[in-house]
Amino acid sequence: MDLLIREARPNDAAAIVGIWNPIIATGLYTAVDTPLTVEAEREYILNFPQRGVFHVAVCRADHKVVGFQSMEPFATYTHAFDHVGVIGTYVDLSYRRQGIGTCLFDATFEAARRKGYEKIFTYVRADNEAALASYLRRGFHIVGTAQKHAKLNGTYVDEMIIEKFL
C-alpha cells in the first residue's frame, strides 16, 4: 500500500474517530472503553503537546486515513522524564497487516529522536498478541505485567508494560 505519513490535523478528527471507535467497540484490542466524539478528538489535536508526535497514515490512492500513532511526553510536571514518550498505535480494522504500522513506527521514531526523546514506553493488553508482537518486532521489550490493570465489563485485563530505547 502506498502511504503518506504526515502530522495529524484538526480536520483529521472524524477519520481518527472512525478508526478508534470500531476498535473500542470490539472490546478486544484496547483498554479504552468509552467511544470518542469528533469534537473531543479535534480539541485533542488542537491542544496536542508541542513536543508530542502525532502521525496519520493516508492511503495515497483514495486519500483515506487508515491508521494513526501518537506519542506524548510521559510527564510534564517534572523534567526528569523529558526523554520519555508514551506511544499508542491504531490501524483501521479492515487495513491491518498491510505495513501501515511499520510506516507509522518509522516516522514516529525519526520524529521522536529529532525532538530529543531517548525512550518510548507504553502498555499493551496482554491478550492482544498481534499488537504485542508488532511492538516487539520494532525493538520494544517487555518490562513487566500490570496485573488486573483494566476492568472492562466486569472482567480484569492484564497489560504488558513495554519500552524501547531510541
The full set of domains in the chain, from first to last, is: 3-117 (3.40.630.30)
Measured distance CA(25)–CA(69) in Å, rounded: 19
For the cut 90, the answer to whether the pLDDT of residue 1 exceeds it is: no
The whole-model pTM stands at 0.94
Q: Quote the mean pLDDT of the chain.
A: 96
Question: Which pLDDT score, from 0 to 100, does residue 18 have?
Answer: 98
| pLDDT tens track for 94-110 | 999 999 999 999 999 99
- Are the C-beta atoms of 65 and 19 separated by less than 8 Å? yes
Measured distance CA(2)–CA(16) in Å, rounded: 19
| pLDDT tens track for 17-66 | 999 999 999 989 999 999 999 999 999 999 999 999 999 999 999 999 99
Cα torsion 25, 108, 12, 36: sign: positive
Measured distance CA(24)–CA(36) in Å, rounded: 9
What letter represents residue 72's amino acid? E
- Are the C-beta atoms of 49 and 55 separated by less than 8 Å? no
The 8-class DSSP code of residue 11 comes to G
Q: What is the mean pLDDT of residues 54-83?
A: 96
Phi first, then psi, for residue 142 (nearest 5°) are -80, 130
- Are the C-beta atoms of 90 and 69 separated by less than 8 Å? yes
- 3-class SS letters over 82-102: CCEEEEEEEECHHHCCCCHHH
- Are the C-beta atoms of 3 and 100 separated by less than 8 Å? yes
Q: What is the mean pLDDT of residues 60-82?
A: 96
Question: Which pLDDT score, from 0 to 100, does residue 33 have?
Answer: 94
All three cell numbers of 11: 480536520
